[in-house]
Amino acid sequence: MDDILGLLDVLAIDKAHLVGHSMGGTLVFNLIAAAPGRVLSGTVVNPGSPYGFGGSKGLDGTPCYADCAGSGGGVVNPDFPKLIAAGDRSSDNPQASPRVVMNSFYWKPPFVPAREEDLLSSLLTEKIGPDKYPGDLEPSPNWPNVAPGKFGPINAISPKYVGDSVARFLAAQPKPPMLWVRGDSDTIVSDNSFFDLGTLGKLGYVPGWPGEEVYPPQPMVGQTRHVLAQYTAQGGAYDEVVIADAGHTPFVEKPAEFMAALMRILK
């Protein structure tokens, strides 16, 4: 966030329209919380929940455990970053090959983008390590026995580090108009995300699930709508655009529909 504000300063840009996808959508919420006067509009595309990714329940984002177990760098399949670091371009590992993960979850199968190889090359530039992606972890007595560490992007979006950012977003003055765009078939950010331990535990893929009351699937879409509804009630405005037959990356899958929505808010 500080880097983005610093870049605006260096470029002598006083105000800007913000567009953030996935983790970038989380940054848009935080930038509005930190510097609302510099934001002309905020567009979030399949954003992570404003309450953080994983480890929370209910529309108000209550942590499932005090240490936010089940979120952070320890919940990432360790084979995935290893294969990224190795520059793997194969489809040999159905659970962790970067190409398979990209084509299975970043968009809705059987869609394959025309620039698949370029997008895979970009994915493989991710910096890997305990202080990079996915980050480090802390052991936890709470299911699933890992809690967020201190470094890396997946820890940064844990509810452990959300703090008062939602309250500051809701209190922002002025309140720039918001656009929320999402694919209707997103399996990364949803109320039953395949990347959420609550969902995986409930489905039986992760043993020891403590049950619906303790650790339900995180209602990611519901939480985002809840926050944006409060934003509107406090004087802001938002528009939710759901793009049919699209997954986590609608600007790649349905670029014309995405651009039509984006151009409306830019105007």
- 167-193 residue pLDDT tens: 999 999 999 999 999 999 999 999 999
- Rounded to whole angstroms, the Cα distance separating 135 from 254 reads 32
CA atoms within 13 A on the CB side of 116: 15
Helix H or strand E segment including 192: none
Token reading at 37: 């006067």
pLDDT at 1 over 90: no
Output the CA–CA distances (angstroms, integers) from residue 118 to 57, 80, 124, 214, 250, in the order listed: 37, 19, 10, 42, 17
What are the structure tokens assigned to 160, written together? 């452990």
Mean pLDDT score across all residues of the chain: 97
Question: Is 24 buried (19+), middle (13-18) or exposed (0-12) by CB count in 10 A?
Answer: middle
The predicted-structure confidence for 15-29, as pLDDT tens digits, reads as follows 999 999 999 999 999
Kindly give the residue spans of alpha helices, DSSP state H, lying in 172-254.
Answer: 197-202, 220-233, 250-253
Q: In terms of Cα–Cα distance, which of 95, 84, 152 is closest to 120?
A: 84
Residue 153's pLDDT is what? 96
Q: Could you give the 3-state DSSP secondary structure of residue 230? A: helix
What angle, 0 to 180 degrees and rounded to 10, lies between the N-to-C axes of helices 2-10 and 23-34? 70
Output the CA torsion sign for 34, 36, 39, 43.
positive
Strand, coil or helix: 10: helix
Residue with tokens 């938002």: 238
Instruction: Inform me whether the pLDDT recorded for 250 exceeds 90.
Output: yes
Kindly state the tokens that stand for 130: 């305990």
* Phi and psi at residue 181, to the nearest 5°: -110, 135
Please state, in angstroms and rounded to a whole number, the distance separating the CA atoms of residues 260 and 258: 5
In angstroms, how far is the first alpha carbon of the chain from the final one? 25
Note the CATH architecture for domain 2-266: 3-Layer(aba) Sandwich (3.40)
Kindly report, residue by residue over 217-241, the tens digit of the pLDDT: 999 999 999 999 999 999 999 999 9
Long-range contacts of 121-125 (CB under 8 A, 24+ apart): 123/84, 123/98, 124/84, 124/87, 124/88, 124/89, 124/98
Beta carbons within 10 angstroms of residue 114's beta carbon: 8
Instruction: State the DSSP H helix or E strand holding residue 169, giving kind and residue range, or none if neither.
Output: helix 165-171
Using one digit for the tens of pLDDT, what is the confidence trace for 77-106?
999 999 999 999 999 999 999 999 999 999
Q: For tokens 């800007």, what's the residue?
A: 16
